[in-house]
Amino acid sequence: MTISWYRPATQPRRVAVLSVHTSPLEQPGTGDAGGMNVYVSQTAVEMARRGVAVEVFTRATSSDQPPVVELAPGVLVRHVPAGPFEPLSRDELPAQLCAFTSGVLRAEAFHEPGYYDLIHSHYWLSGQVGWLARDRWGVPLVHTAHTLAKVKNAALADGDTPEPRTRVIGEEQVVAEADRLVVNTAVEAHQLIGLYGADPGAVRTVSPGVDLQRFRPGSQAAARAALGLPRDAVVLAFAGRIQPLKAPDVLLRAAAELVADDPTLRERLVVLVAGGPSGTGLEQPQALRELADSLGIGELTRFVPPQSGENLVHVYRAADVVAVPSYNESFGLVALEAQACGTPVVAAEVGGLPVAVRHGVSGLLVPSHRAGDWATALRSVALDAATHAEFARGAVRHASRFSWARTTDTLLEAYSEATAAFRDAALEVAV
Ligand code: UDP
């Protein structure tokens, strides 16, 4: 990896990144690990390449974890003991924030004053820690919410559990305190301003990225061989955390409709699901398999555990279409990764997905979660060779507009703005 030690004067030397509830070292695609983990690690690596050292603080979940791990040159992950050495649910974590904050402050106290130039907190739990550390260290706080309780609660899947009021209050506090609020899309900016009263001047839209070196088009036949799938199959894939919010059941129901409409498809159709249970999905980890059986497509459905990025490439390349049927999605990295591999995406028209997917160019956006609407959309992309070829080209073009390098450059601009705003505010107090 090339590291440039040239650093513009406004750029921080060292950033404390807070990721309390999940570590960038974890495998995404199950439990609490998903797009945020990828975001944190990819932007950290890109920052280090630009000469900005990054230290990520995350809660220690096992006594085997070393206190400090080097994720990449210039990027350290610090495991902070806070509560038992075991995974805790998000409901249990607020009670550990005091212990976690104390660990972060102690780590900083070992260094000369002014060791970190800026704090970037991810998710509201980290925002609570960042808010206090910001006041102690006298440095700006940049916050990324990743998801918002009020938005999630407004678009719950049937029977799903709403986010608690404690989270809503905690998010409101962080929104009021942060010097800059980084959001993924203009829609999220409106949500933050409209639902949380964020200062529009403090909100900065930064598009997430995709690793274009890893996620590239490649041989579909080779990918299918790697996964043990027939070469001539029609493959519909889902990748990500299995929970009601992500709605993989919509894909299964739509697949069942496709087979009901054309029974010959039963010979060729494969529904590939990569990922593990998460969130409220943990309460019934077998629910999706049971649904596939009850829909009569159990034999056509292949479940694979969370895949490393390298293996996920096979999943995307093997698929004719990747489905992202979520009820809410602040962006949807899976959609971007699939398109970068040349696979069209059919996605729900919610949250950031209309930015991640270009309707009619790189795939289709479906304005409902009805199985019939999804079956129609999936059929028109997966079974029409001309449309598929056109969208596959559009997908690669669309994804090529995003990269983690671009994300990080914009993020560093937001850091500079936060630093200037923080200094101005400090000057006002002094005068
Ligand atoms: N992912 C993975 N292995 C899997 C499934 C998913 O590494 O088996 C990763 C995927 O590459 C993506 C992330 O998990 O970067 C999911 O991000 P997304 O924004 O789609 O959803 P989130 O998890 O943030 O809700």
CATH topology identical between 14-209+404-430 and 220-399: yes
List the domain boundaries for the chain: 14-209+404-430, 220-399
- Enter the pTM of the model: 0.96
pLDDT value at residue 401: 97
pLDDT value at residue 352: 96
What is the architecture of the domain spanning 14-209+404-430? 3-Layer(aba) Sandwich (3.40)
For a mutational test of ligand 1's pocket, the pick from 241, 343, 407, i.e. the residue with the most ligand atoms closer than 8 A to its C-beta, is 241
Spans of the chain, pLDDT less than 50: 5
265-321 residue pLDDT tens: 999 999 999 999 998 888 888 999 999 999 999 999 999 999 999 999 999 999 999
246-268 residue pLDDT tens: 999 999 999 999 999 999 999 99
Is 360 assigned to a binding site?
no
Q: How far does residue 26's CA lie from ligand 1's centre (Å)?
A: 11
Any ligand 1 atom below 6 A from CB of 275: yes
Any ligand 1 atom below 6 A from CB of 279: no
Is 329 assigned to a binding site?
yes
pLDDT value at residue 8: 55
Domain 220-399 has CATH 3.40.50.2000: yes
159 within 8 A of 51, measured Cβ to Cβ: no
